[in-house]
Amino acid sequence: MNLLTLVLFLPLAGFLAALLVPRDRPGLVRGFVLVVSLAVFVLSIGLALPQAPAAQGYWFETNAPWIQSPAIRFHTGLDGLSLWLVLLSTLLTPIGILISWNHIDRRVKEFYAFLLLLEFGLVGVFVALDLFLFYVFWEVSLVPMYFLIGIWGHQRRIYAAVKFFLFTMTGSVLMLAAMLYIYGVTGTFDYPTLLTMLASGRWHVESGEQMLLFLAFFVAFAIKVPLFPLHTWLPDAHVEAPTAGSVMLASVMLKMGTYGLVRFCLPLFPNSARHAAGWIVTLAIIGIIYGALVAMVQPNMKKLVAYSSVSHLGFVVLGVFSFTQAGLDGAVYQMLNHGISTGALFMLVGYLYERRHSLEIADYGGVATPAPWLSTVFLITTLASIGLPTLNNFVGEFLVLQGSAQVNFRWTVFAAIGVILSAVYMLWLYQRVFFGEAGEPVRHHVYDLSRREWAAILPLLVLMVWMGTLTQTFLPAISASNARTLERSNVNVEFQVKARTPLVAGQAGQAEARPAKEPPDAR
C-alpha cells in the first residue's frame, strides 16, 4: 500500500465510518469528516513532493489483479496530468465541508458522508490506469453527486439531479461499449499496455472503426465537459445544487471530461482525434462565445457563473484539440485554474445566498458597504476569472491562445472575443451586486466574512496568485506528461491493416508486428 492508495481509500474508509456515527450528533460528523478530509489533503501533498522523473511509468504505481478473466487489474498511478487534479480534489473537499458548515441543517450525516464518497470517486477517476477501473470510478462519482443535488438542492432539485444523471449515464454506457470492444480486439483493459500495443503497431484499427470508438469516448467526455450542444444539464445542475455541490461539480467533476479527452481520446485514437479536431474546435469556440453571451443576460448569479463555465471549458477543449504543446499545457493549466477560480466564485455566491437568501442579481446592490472584505475577495476572484495578468487564468488562457494561434489564427481571434466578453459579464455582475445603493435587506442581512469563511476561501486566493506568478511549480510536470501525450497522438495507425484476433500478450504480435510509421507533420 503506497501513499496514493492511501489517499484513494482513506475517503472511502471515512465515508463508511461517518455512516456509523449516531444521527443526533451532527457536530461530531462535521468534525470527523473535516479531519479525515484534511488528513487526505495533507497526505496528498506528499504526492507532489518527489517529482522524480517518471519517464514512461507512473508515480506511485499499484498494479494488482482484480478479476482474472477477463483480465481486469487494479492499476493506479499518477503522472503530471493527474497529479494536480488529484490535489485539486483533495483540496476542495475540506473546503466544501467548511462552506457547508452552517448551511446544511438536515440530514447532516449523509451530506458529509456523500462528500467523502464523492472524493473517493473523483480521486479514483484521476488515478485509474485501467479502462475498466476508470469506468467504475466514473460511475461511483456520479451517485453521490446525484444525491447531493437531489437531496440538498433548491426547488427544482429532483429534475436537475435526474437530468444530470441521465445525461452522464447515457454517454458513459456508450463509452463502456467502446471499452468492451477494445477489450475484444486487444484482450486487455490496461491503459499503458494499450498504448504500447498501439505504438508498436500490434493493435491496428481501421479508420471508420477508430472514428466510432473515438466518438463513443468523446461523447461521454463532451457531455461531462460540457461541450456546446450537450451543455444543457449544467445550468440546471449548478443552480439547483447546494453550494458545496456546485463547487465540487464545477471545480472537479467537469474536469473528469477534459481529463478523459487528454488521457484517452488523444493517445488512444490519434488519427480520429486529429481528423475530428476541426469541428470539435468549432464547437468549442461556439461554446466559448455562446456561454459568454448567455452568461451576460442571466439575472441569476449561479446561472451566470454556470454559463461562464461553459465558456471557460471551451478554452480547455480548444487547447486540447490544437495538438500543440502550448495548447495542451494551457488546457491542463486552465483546468486547474477554472477549478480554483470558478470554485471560489460559487463559494462566494453561496456566501451571499446564505446572507440574503436570494440568487437574483436584482436583489443585491451596494454589498460593498456592509461587507468590504467579501467585496474585495470577490473582486480578486472576478479578476482572476477574467484573466488579469499575475492571476492564474491569464497563464492558462494565454497558453491556449498561443497554441491555437500556431494552428489557425482565426480560432485565436474568435476565442479572444470570448475573453473580452468574460470581462464584460463578470465586471457587470460585480458592479450590479457590490456597487450602488445598498437596499434595506442588504444592509440588514449582509455581514462580512466570518473566520470559517475566510479559512475556506483563503487557500484559493493564495493559489490564484501563486498559479499566476510562480507557474514553474506546476508547469514542468504538466508539460512533461503533455509532451508524452502529444508524442503518442502522433502515432500514425495503419488504416489498411485489420486485427480481429485477440492480441493477448504472447500470441500477439507475431502476425502483424510492424514498426510504427513515421509520425506525420503535426499540422
Partner 1 sequence: MSQYYTATDHFVLVPAIMLALFGCAILLFDFWVFPEPKQRKWLLAFLALGEAFAGYGLWQQHTYIAGQGIAELTAFQGSLVVDGFSLFFNWMFIAAASIVALMSYRYLEVEGEHHGEYYSLILLAQCGMYFLASGADLITLFVGLELMALCFYIMVGFLRSDKRSNEAAMKYLLLGGFSSGFLAYGFSLLYGLSGSTKLSEIGVAIARRDPADPVLLLAMVTTTVGLLFKISAVPFHMWAPDAYEGAPTTVTAYLSVGSKAASIAFLLRIFLGPLASARAAWEPLLVFAAIASLTVGNLAAISQHNIKRLLAYSSISHAGYMLLGLVAGNETGIKGVAVYVLVYTFTNLGVFLVIVALRREGLVGDNIDDLAGLMHKSPGYALLMLICLLSLAGIPPTAGFIGKYYIFLSLIQAGRYVLAAAAALYVAVAIYYYFRIVRSMFMSDAEDAGAMETTFGVRVAAALTGLGTLGIGIFPEPFLRFAGQSLIR
Assess contact for 323 and 274: CB atoms under 8 A. Answer: yes
Instruction: Give me the residue label for grid cell 504505481.
Output: 61
Q: Which of 170, 390, 431, 450 binds partner 1 (CB under 8 A)?
A: 170
Question: Could you say whether residue 135 binds partner 1 (CB under 8 A)?
Answer: yes
Q: Segment contacting partner 1 (CB under 8 A): 143-151, 241-249, 287-295, 433-441?
A: 143-151
Assess contact for 213 and 254: CB atoms under 8 A. Answer: no
Q: Distance (Å, rounded) from C-alpha 128 to C-alpha 139?
A: 13
Q: Segment contacting partner 1 (CB under 8 A): 169-177, 302-310, 440-448, 505-513?
A: 169-177
Question: Could you say whether residue 12 binds partner 1 (CB under 8 A)?
Answer: no
**Burial per residue of 189-217, b for 16 or more beta-carbon CB atoms within 10 angstroms, e otherwise:** bbbbbbbebbeebbbbbeeebbbbbbbbb
Phi, psi (rounded to 5 degrees) for 78: -120, 145
Q: Which of 110, 130, 190, 453 binds partner 1 (CB under 8 A)?
A: 110
DSSP characters over 3-48 = HHHHHHHHHHHHHHHHHHS-TT-HHHHHHHHHHHHHHHHHHHHHHH
Question: Could you say whether residue 151 binds partner 1 (CB under 8 A)?
Answer: yes
Q: Segment contacting partner 1 (CB under 8 A): 153-161, 218-226, 402-410, 445-453?
A: 153-161
SS (H, E, C) 367-388: CCCCCHHHHHHHHHHHHHHCCC
Question: Could you say whether residue 66 binds partner 1 (CB under 8 A)?
Answer: yes
Number of residues in contact with partner 1, rule: CB under 8 A?
A: 34
Question: Could you say whether residue 157 binds partner 1 (CB under 8 A)?
Answer: yes
Q: Which of 144, 150, 201, 330 binds partner 1 (CB under 8 A)?
A: 150
CB of 272 to partner 1, least distance (A): 17
Q: Segment contacting partner 1 (CB under 8 A): 45-53, 162-170, 281-289, 408-416?
A: 162-170
Q: How far is CA 506 from the centre of its chain?
A: 38
Q: Segment contacting partner 1 (CB under 8 A): 76-84, 174-182, 284-292, 348-356?
A: 174-182
Q: Distance (Å, rounded) from C-alpha 367 to C-alpha 287?
A: 31
Q: Which residues contact 435 (CB under 8 A, 6 or more apart)?
A: 365, 366, 368
Q: Which of 176, 293, 296, 388 binds partner 1 (CB under 8 A)?
A: 176
Question: Could you say whether residue 169 binds partner 1 (CB under 8 A)?
Answer: yes
Question: Could you say whether residue 183 binds partner 1 (CB under 8 A)?
Answer: yes
Question: Could you say whether residue 387 binds partner 1 (CB under 8 A)?
Answer: no
Q: Distance (Å, rounded) from C-alpha 397 to C-alpha 473?
A: 18
Q: Which of 166, 362, 458, 462 binds partner 1 (CB under 8 A)?
A: 166
Q: Distance (Å, rounded) from C-alpha 194 to C-alpha 505?
A: 11
Omega before 70 cis (within 30°)? yes
Q: Which of 59, 165, 191, 221 binds partner 1 (CB under 8 A)?
A: 165
| Contacts with partner 1, residue ranges (CB under 8 A) | 23, 66-70, 107, 110, 135-136, 139-140, 142-143, 146-147, 150-151, 157-158, 161-162, 165-166, 169-170, 173-174, 176-177, 180-181, 183-184
